[in-house]
Chains A and B, each alone.
Chain A
Amino acid sequence: MIEAVGLRKVYGSKVAVEDLSFTVRPGIVTGFLGPNGSGKSTTMRMVVGLDRPTAGQVLVDGEPFAQATAPLSTLGALLDAKAVHTGRSAFRHLQAMAATAGIPRSRVDEVVDLVGLREVARKRAGGFSLGMGQRLGIASALLGDPSTVMFDEPVNGLDPDGILWIRHLMKDLAREGRAVFVSSHLMSEMALTAEHLVVIGRGRLIADETVQSFIDRVHPRGVTVRSPQVQELQDVVRGAGGTLTPTGDGGFEVVGLTAEVIGDAALRAGVALHELTTVRASLEEAFMELTAGSLEYQAHSTGPGAAPSARTSTQLPRAEEEVAR
Chain B
Amino acid sequence: MSATTGPATTGTTQYVPAQRRVTFGGLLRSEWIKFWSVRSVVITMAAAFAAVVGFGVLLPFAVGTQLQGPGAREGLDATSVSLQGAAPASLVVAALGVIVIAGEFSTGMIRTSFVSAPRRLGVVVAKAVVLAVTVAVVLGVAVFLAFFLGQAVLDRNDAGVSIGDPGVLRAVLGNIAMLVGVAVAGLGLGALMRNSAGAICTILGALFVLPLLLRALPESWGGPTIREYYFANTTNNAITVLQNPEYLGIGAGLVVFVVWVLVLLGAGALSAKTRDV
Chain A residues within CB distance 8 Å of chain B: 1, 3, 5, 23, 25-28, 45, 48-52, 59, 61-62, 65-73, 75, 77, 79, 81-89, 92-93, 95-97, 99-103, 140, 144-147, 176-179
Contact = CB atoms under 8 A, between A and B. Distances in A.
Given A25-B12, A66-B120, A70-B20, 7 more contacts: A23-B5, A48-B115, A51-B276, A87-B40, A88-B109, A97-B30, A177-B13
Contacts, number: 167
Interface of B: 1-3, 5-7, 9-23, 26-27, 29-34, 37-40, 103-104, 107-112, 114-120, 274, 276-277
Contacts of B118: 48-49, 65-68, 71
B108 A82 contact: yes
B6 A23 contact: yes
Contacts of A1: 3, 6, 14
Contact of A147 (B2, B16, B40): B16
B106 to A, nearest CB: 9
B10 A26 contact: yes
Q: Which of A77, A95, A101 has the most CB of B within 10 A?
A: A101
A61 B108 CA distance: 26
Given A5-B1, A66-B119, A93 B112 contact: yes
A21 to B, nearest CB: 11
B15 A178 contact: yes
A7 to B, nearest CB: 14
A92 B29 CA distance: 12
Nearest to B12: A27
A83 B108 contact: yes
Nearest to A76: B115
Contacts of A95: 33
Nearest to A126: B107
5 contacts: A67-B119, A71-B22, A81-B108, A102-B20, A147-B17
Contact of B112 (A27, A97, A147, A178): A97
B23 to A, nearest CB: 7
Given A62-B2, A73-B20, A99-B29, A28 B10 contact: yes
Given A84-B108, A85-B34, A99-B30, A49 B21 contact: no
B124 to A, nearest CB: 13
Contact of B33 (A62, A84, A99, A102): A99
A28 B12 contact: yes
A48 B38 CA distance: 26
A62 B2 CA distance: 6
Contacts of B110: 83
Contacts of B107: 82, 84-87
Nearest to A48: B115
Contacts of B38: 85, 87-88
Contacts of A5: 1
Nearest to B26: A100
A50 B110 CA distance: 10
A318 B33 CA distance: 45
A71 B117 contact: yes
A83 B40 contact: no
B17 A61 contact: no
A59 B17 contact: no
Given A5-B1, A89-B37, A100-B116, A26 B21 contact: no
Nearest to A71: B118
B3 A100 contact: no
Nearest to A2: B6
Contacts of B26: 99-102
Contacts of B37: 88-89, 92, 96
B33 A96 contact: yes
Contact of A92 (B9, B11, B18, B33): B33
A263 B21 CA distance: 62
Contact of B3 (A62, A73, A177, A178): A62
Contacts of A79: 111, 115
A179 B14 contact: yes
Contacts of A96: 30-31, 33-34, 37
Nearest to A195: B10
B103 A85 contact: yes
Nearest to A27: B12
B64 to A, nearest CB: 42
Nearest to A140: B112
B108 A147 contact: no
B15 A72 contact: no
Contacts of A103: 20
Contact of A49 (B3, B22, B114): B114
Contacts of A73: 17-20
Contacts of A97: 30, 112, 116
A103 B33 CA distance: 14
Contact of B1 (A3, A70, A82, A86): A3
A177 B14 contact: yes
A146 to B, nearest CB: 6
A142 to B, nearest CB: 11
Contacts of B109: 83-85, 88, 93
A77 B112 CA distance: 9
Contact of A101 (B1, B116, B120): B116
